[in-house]
Amino acid sequence: MENLAVFHGPIGMEEGERRLAKDGRDGCYLVRTSDTVPGSFCLCVRCGGYVYTYRLHRDSQGQWAAETTPGVEKRYFRHIKNLISAFQKPGQGLAMPLLY
């Protein structure tokens, strides 16, 4: 995870929201360490002035998934970079595609 350019480490929710607000563009995103669930990460994306947070986790086989909008089938990826690439397209269960 540390090799990922969008990974900001254990910055907490408020700092993550501050950084995305500073960028100011809908579709800007970052990944941070979860401050409530040990061993999990959060994918945060800005949309319409709000920051939406999606929990990222690994399954027992080491594949990555994101908790998305209810009703959207959960998808698993071997690498976090593949998960991010998939969510750069519209209609994948996030409030906004990952753009910046």
30 touches 6 (CB < 8 A): yes
Residues 6+ apart with CB under 8 A from 84: 4, 6, 31, 43, 98
Q: Spelled out in words, what is the top-level CATH class assigned to the domain 12-86?
A: alpha beta
Task: Look at residue 30 and give its three-state secondary structure.
Answer: strand
pLDDT tens, position by position, 9-19: 999 999 999 99
In this prediction, residue 1 has a pLDDT band, given cuts at 50, 70 and 90, of low
Structure confidence by residue, pLDDT tens digits, 32-49: 999 888 888 999 999 999
Joined together, the tokens standing for residue 5 give 């350019």
